A = this chain, B = another copy of it.
Amino acid sequence: MYKAAVMVAPQQPLEIRDYPAPAMEPGAILLETIYSEVCGTDVHLHHGRLAGVPYPIIPGHVSVGHIAQIAGEVKDVEGQALREGDVVTFLDVHETCGRCWFCLVAKAATRCPSRRVYGITYSAEEGLLGGWSEAIYLKPGVKVIRLPEEVTPERYIAAGCGLPTATHALERAEVQLGDSVAVQGCGPIGLNAAILAQLSGATQIIVLGAPETRLQMASAVGADHVIDIEAYGPEERVARVQELTGGRGADVTIEATGNPSAISEGMRMTRDNGRYVVVGQYTDAGEVEINPHWDINRKHLEIRGCWGSDFSHFYRGLKVLAKHGERFPYEGLITRKFGLDEIDEALAAVEELRVVKAVVQP
């Protein structure tokens, strides 16, 4: 029997339920969870702010574990067979169909309508399909990657879902050698973006956010300048970024806040003909007013929404973590680890920004 934390409905305390070991379809893998993540999306799930979630659910979309059981032979993307005992992670978003217009014509797999997500779009009645659980059932076809030996499970979960998300954002950002990059937000996505921007050739990183503890973490991961949004208003923040960039604004700005008002500010702190990647608006938090003459047209600005991530971002993020993980204090992002029975506390800590990152250790 495996224990799992079940979010029965929005705004309710979670329950711990027992699950029997699942029947294994051919090609399935059973993972015993080492760590899973509590991220901002889980807070949104708990507030009922995502549409179409089939409560009750077992949350937890990014997780790492060791393989307890494999039904038949399963290979990874390099063609290597997976084995019991391997420490692996998996792409939470799966069932991308490969047959629809978005998969085939637009080649925009993150907009495939068939995608399903561990920890979000599966009901707890369908089985162990979320990471806040002692075990996770990986359906046939779920894409699994062995952790590189340089990457401990702890470092991996510290990088968390922010790593592939920020990898995708940096792909969209097309940073060039010598660019100045402003990052709005210093939560897990913002911090990963600040790290990856440096690794992509930027020579100046400016992080805007709050609270102070997160800004310290931003400095610790290499931000050249941090701007405390609790101490300065929007106009001052824009002026400060311009001052730091020769009066022009950042070559690239990456939004990772979730706050609509960040958008007009982000446009203004980006230089003319710069690139502005919007990756933090994961739920509908309302509208923002922009001035299309000054902020888009005259500025010759390029604004790029960035939704989700696909296998390539997941794979590339891990390569980066294996190569450069030592240089950045990833583990420091984990403020605290929580057992399954402390899960309500973990959610509250994330919601109140008392932690940079909360990790579940079932």
Contact = CB atoms under 8 A, between A and B. Distances in A.
Contacts of A170: 177, 201
Interface in A271-323: 271-273, 278-294, 296-307, 310-312, 315-320, 322-323
A245 to B, nearest CB: 10
A302 B302 contact: yes
A41 interface: no
A22 interface: no
A305 B291 CA distance: 12
B281 A111 contact: no
B286 A287 contact: no
Given A177-B319, A307-B298, A260 B291 contact: yes
A170 to B, nearest CB: 6
A321 to B, nearest CB: 9
Interface string A171-188: 100001110000000000
A98 interface: yes
A299 B305 contact: yes
A279 B292 CA distance: 10
A302 to B, nearest CB: 5
A328 interface: no
A360 B263 CA distance: 43
Most B CB contacts (10 A, CB to CB) among A300, A316, A317 go to A300
Contacts of A100: 77, 79
Interface of A: 77-79, 96, 98-102, 104-108, 110-111, 141, 143, 167, 170-171, 176-178, 196, 199-201, 203-204, 246, 248, 260, 263, 271-273, 278-294, 296-307, 310-312, 315-320, 322-324
Given A297-B305, A297-B306, 20 more contacts: A77-B99, A77-B101, A96-B98, A104-B310, A106-B272, A111-B273, A178-B318, A199-B201, A200-B200, A201-B320, A203-B319, A260-B292, A281-B292, A281-B297, A285-B293, A288-B289, A300-B306, A301-B305, A302-B302, A303-B304
23 contacts: A77-B104, A79-B100, A101-B246, A104-B311, A104-B312, A105-B311, A105-B312, A107-B312, A108-B300, A170-B201, A171-B177, A177-B320, A178-B320, A196-B201, A200-B200, A203-B323, A263-B292, A282-B293, A283-B293, A285-B293, A288-B289, A290-B290, A297-B306
